[in-house]
Amino acid sequence: MPETTSRQTKAKRLTALIGFGVVVLMTGAAFAAVPLYRTFCQLTGFDGTVRKAEAAPTRVLDQTLVIRFDANVRGVPWAFAPDQTSQTVRIGKTGLAFFHVKNNGDKPVTAHAAYNVVPESAAKYFQKLQCFCFTDQTLQPGQSADFPVVYFVDPKYVSDPDTKNEPDITLSYTFFPVATSAAADKSASNAPAKPASALGGSAKAAL
């Protein structure tokens, strides 16, 4: 009987350890899933996610598209809006747009901009060379900034049956708060914000 009880105890301990390991593994997978999903979307354009480009196309078409801009905030005391509601650009040509943002709160805030395009089928062709959304942005109380985005639409857009008849694309951003430690908040409050600048360092250059 004591031997049977010992075996049962060992079996229970083993079961408990396996269960604990599964919980830890599932928790880790859940935390890893978000950045992995985001990376997958940015690489493939899945779910309307805009792709980051290394260089502009060498071919520019005569065909044009209307690019519309949308801006939103979730959980941050910022006023955020595009400087232009739309732009007409040639397919393959680099475009430059600006978004104005102001921190209406009474303390420094760090936020990150999530982004996508509509229609979703256009996401893999709408690419960005530079964007404030690539990094976290910190604004001091009352601080304003103009954030640029440098983008283009790949010429392959016109040969895809799902996009060739789409006359416009909407680029949408939403700023979400970024969790920071007390030390990071203190450091941010003592350091000036470094808003993104346009390529070449020029502000609000013409398209």
pLDDT tens digits, one per residue of 119-156: 999 999 999 999 999 999 999 999 999 999 999 999 99
Give 51-106 pLDDT, tens digit per residue: 677 788 889 999 999 999 999 999 999 999 999 999 999 999 999 999 999 999 99
Is residue 38 over pLDDT 70? no
Provide the pLDDT for residue 55. Answer: 83
**Do 102 and 77 meet the contact criterion of CB atoms below 8 Å apart?**
no
Average pLDDT of the chain, as a whole number: 77
Provide the pLDDT for residue 56. Answer: 86
**Do 199 and 150 meet the contact criterion of CB atoms below 8 Å apart?**
yes
Q: Is 164 exposed, middle or buried (0-12, 13-18, 19+ CB in 10 A)?
A: exposed
Average pLDDT for residues 183-200, to the nearest whole number?
Answer: 44
Work out whether strand 64-73 and strand 168-177 pair parallel, antiparallel, or are unpaired.
parallel
Provide the pLDDT for residue 96. Answer: 97
User: 1 falls in which pLDDT band (50, 70, 90)?
Assistant: low
Provide the pLDDT for residue 204. Answer: 45
Is residue 176 over pLDDT 50? yes
**Do 154 and 127 meet the contact criterion of CB atoms below 8 Å apart?**
yes
Is residue 179 over pLDDT 80? no
Q: How far apart are CA 155 and CA 152, in angstroms?
A: 9
User: 21 falls in which pLDDT band (50, 70, 90)?
Assistant: low
**Paired tokens of 99:** 């978004």
Region for residue 83 given its phi and psi (left: phi exceeds 0; alpha: psi -120 to 50; beta: otherwise): alpha
Residue 136, SS3?
coil
State the DSSP string of 138-199: EE-TT-EEEEEEEEEE-GGGGG-TTTTT--EEEEEEEEEE----HHHHHHHHHS-------G
Closest CA to 151 of 175, 176, 129, 119: 129
Is residue 12 over pLDDT 80? no
Q: How far apart are CA 68 and CA 66, in angstroms?
A: 6
Is residue 200 over pLDDT 90? no
